[in-house]
Amino acid sequence: MGGKYGIVTAMESWESFIKQTFDLIGFKDYRVEVKPEEKRGMVFIYEDQVLLKENLPTIVDAMNHIAQMVARKNRAESIFIDVNNYRHDREKIIAELAHAAAKKASATKQKISLPAMNSYERRIVHTELAIHPDVRTESMGEGKERYVVIMPIVEEEVK
């Protein structure tokens, strides 16, 4: 890979790409950690917390979209970029939500619909509950309105 900003030549170069991108955005006080073996990059921004708080989901989505485009364009392996642990914290919240909804579905023997989620978040729910013995999951809806339904497994289904 090449280009005006020396874009990623190998997985280890993602750190340089991330730093250049955040420099171009105008951030000065941040730290970047890249874990090539996990295909992850983490950025910790220490300045302008109000701006970050208001825009963190958008920043994370935009950075990942750009990283995927760069990787695809240059036939390289992509990396996932998290900013201020937003995605990590969100994954934990979604997993907790999934388990609480599964417990409720199992106790009440009723379907529980979760809010609309993107495909990555829905996959977290499906994965978290895949081994749960009392419920099954199914995605429903279309586009941005797609969501997960958690259904209790009734005895007739088990036989």
**pLDDT tens digits, 67-115:** 999 989 988 888 899 999 999 999 999 999 999 999 999 999 999 999 9
Percentage above 70 pLDDT, the chain: 89
State whether residue 4 is helix, strand or coil.
Answer: coil
Q: Does 37 score more than 90 pLDDT?
A: no
Task: Find the mean pLDDT for residues 11-34.
Answer: 90
Q: What is the pTM of this model?
A: 0.73
Rounded to whole angstroms, what are the CA distances from 122 to 20, 22, 45, 143, 149? 32, 29, 28, 12, 10
Q: Which residue, among 115, 122, 130, has the nearest Cα to 91 in the 3D structure?
A: 122
Q: Say what the pLDDT of residue 38 is.
A: 86
* Greatest mean pLDDT among 27-31, 70-74, 117-121: 27-31
Q: Say what the pLDDT of residue 13 is.
A: 85
**What is the separation of C-alpha 142 from the centre of its chain, rounded to a whole number of angstroms?**
19
